[in-house]
Structure 1
């Protein structure tokens, strides 16, 4: 009886060993089929510094009056003063645009002698007009946007915004950066393949990252997941990434 049990135990052990070997071997086969399926992946990048070639300066001026007619007459005079200021600073006619005039009635709160609120009553009209200067002469517009003393002394309540800076050849620059980032990614693929004794096969996939156009010398914290287009700085840096995936041979 003891001999019979020993034989059974030996058979169970042998079968278990075969099963384990079979499972282990199957795992190796599966690894060989799928382990290299992801191929070789690398991300390349390219960047360049550039100067803006277009500036946009916006501003607005407002007046207050008792009647629409009187208020309109006042803002028309202010618009003429603003236009004269721009012309005297060599801003061409086609570089300046004046928007339509916005008008709104204003109200003041009324209270009785004991401080009880009685309601609102009209107290006049506010008129506002905007102007935009667009030019390739960045130095000129920067200077006149900073020095509006003449207008203020003339009584024009001009609210000046910070200039915006753009680059008109951005599409051409993007294509050049994509080409360079792709070449950079392919070089990394080749180096990685050579380091493992293999060679890259066919291209499996390629993806383009978002463009990051930031102020020059800004930190990576300025980057955005959706990309960023800085308009506040004259000097900028553009950056793009390209991700390539090749099969391995």
Structure 2
């Protein structure tokens, strides 16, 4: 039979063991609770958009000259260049806003037929082409010119035009303003989520900017994963997204 002393020692040891288990369980539970709180997060996406009007227009085109003699072809191309430039200036475009590239040429062959329609040979001739571009902040004047430029066909100038392209020179400032809007929108969304779930918004963990999109205001073009950059429309809409992740308390 064990002595009283041994029994008392065992009882005391058991009590300490029980107390240790209780305290250990308590602190373990608190640790899990705190860990769960630290890992809680709210991820939101905010967006900002802005309508704006292009303040720069670019209009490109080219004209061509054909001649059997290369030197005469260059002379005629130079004459038509001067006549086209004068025509554009009369429409309100500054000469400094017009850039002409050097004329290029190709040597071609023209088919020759006799009176009965039989092919009897070929003769060489030259086709000279000269590209030009109008780049101006006076968007309305260039648009007016683009609608009237076909009138130079009556002067014997074989001209071809591309569709105008529209740009915005203050794009950097616009981006900064939109980032502010998108960030504020994202934070407001996060605050609503936190409040509705009975918590509060903690510190910002992560912030990532999405792609920047420019689309035509009245077009049906889709957004692109890599970002759209519309140049076809004068009236545009810019959109940007911001992804924020906050701690949740």
TM-score range, shorter chain: 0.7 to 0.9
- Structure 1 residues 31 and 231, CA gap change in structure 2 (3 angstroms): farther
Which residue number corresponds to residue 80 of structure 1?
A: 82
Which residue number corresponds to residue 227 of structure 2?
A: 227
Structure 1: distance between partners of 2:38 and 2:219: 40
Contact 1:44 1:186 in 2 (8 A): yes
The Cα RMSD (Å) is 2.6
- Measured after TM superposition, the shift of residue 230 of structure 1 is 0.6
- Measured after TM superposition, the shift of residue 122 of structure 1 is 5.8
Match among 35, 39, 55 for residue 53 of structure 1: 55
5+ residue gaps, structure 2, are 1-30, 114-118
Which residue number corresponds to residue 139 of structure 1?
A: 140
Contact 1:105 1:122 in 2 (8 A): no
Structure 2: distance between partners of 1:40 and 1:100: 60
Structure 2: distance between partners of 1:182 and 1:218: 27
Structure 2: distance between partners of 1:155 and 1:83: 14
Which residue number corresponds to residue 154 of structure 1?
A: 155
Which residue number corresponds to residue 242 of structure 1?
A: 242
- Structure 1 residues 244 and 122, CA gap change in structure 2 (3 angstroms): farther
SS at structure 1 position matched to 2:61: strand
Structure 2: distance between partners of 1:200 and 1:148: 61
Structure 1: distance between partners of 2:245 and 2:112: 72
Mapping of residues 209-220 of structure 1, within 5 Å: 209-219=210-220
Structure 2: distance between partners of 1:38 and 1:55: 50
**Bigger shift: residues 177-186 or 87-96:** 87-96
- Measured after TM superposition, the shift of residue 237 of structure 1 is 0.4
Which residue number corresponds to residue 71 of structure 2?
A: 69
- Measured after TM superposition, the shift of residue 105 of structure 1 is 1.1
Q: TM-score, normalised by structure 2?
A: 0.79
